[in-house]
Amino acid sequence: MQPRFYAVDLDMDALFRRAVRVSVAGRTVKTLSNEDVLVVLTLHAAKHVWGRLIWLCDIAQILRLPNLNWEWIAERATELGVARILYITLRLTNVLLGAPLLPSVSSKLLDDPVSVALADEIRRQIVSRRSLNPESLAYFRLMMRLRERKADRLRFLQRLALTPGPNEWKVVRLPQPLFPLYRLVRLSRLAARLVRA
């Protein structure tokens, strides 16, 4: 799933409650509903700036499934604050792969000129095979622009600044009781990156 600092708080219990049973190699297993798969794959692709066409191909295949509950998908994306990410993904699958766009989705895209502009910017990036370093300021600025709500952008910034990860753990080895100090390591690394930029 998403690292915590992306500030998309999926309700894991609800994902499992909505899970459906499918047969795989003669065994019945539970998997995410088609609607949840679409939302999760959209978030995953966005986290990686839609850098692999296969991710959009997977999403395009889901879009072709009959009986997707688009009303629920739009409501869920809005609740999570990722409607813009969903619309950008749908536009990319339409423009790059010819996946169908429902009229209601098209009208919402047109209502958000930021989504259209970002989708076009990302499409150019995909076509030119340029990629953003996920540790760069440009990447984090883009992640901020992908969020439509100010509160989500602020939570993203706060969590980005205060959520240590593997890079901080590599830089300094702290004993378990001092683990909270990794936040300071994270802040110092971010400050150093800002100074270099």
Same domain, 123 and 177: no
Q: Name residue 29's beta-bridge partners.
A: 22
Q: How many domains does the chain have?
A: 2
Non-local (6+) Cβ contacts of 28 within 8 A are: 21, 22
**Co-location of 185 and 118 in the same domain:** no
Q: Same domain for 21 and 106?
A: yes
Nearest-angstrom CA–CA distance, 193 and 197: 6
Classify residue 135: in a domain, yes or no: no
Answer whether residue 39 is part of any domain: yes
**Do residues 122 and 37 share a domain?**
yes
Dump pLDDT digits (tens) for 62-110. Answer: 999 988 898 899 899 999 999 999 999 999 999 999 998 877 776 776 6
pTM here is 0.83
In a domain, 19, yes or no: yes
**Dist CA 185 CA 189 (whole Å):** 6
Of 127, 153, 182, which one is at a domain's C-terminal end? 127
Residue 3's pLDDT band, with cuts at 50, 70 and 90, is low
Q: Which residue range forms the structural domain that includes residue 172?
A: 164-196
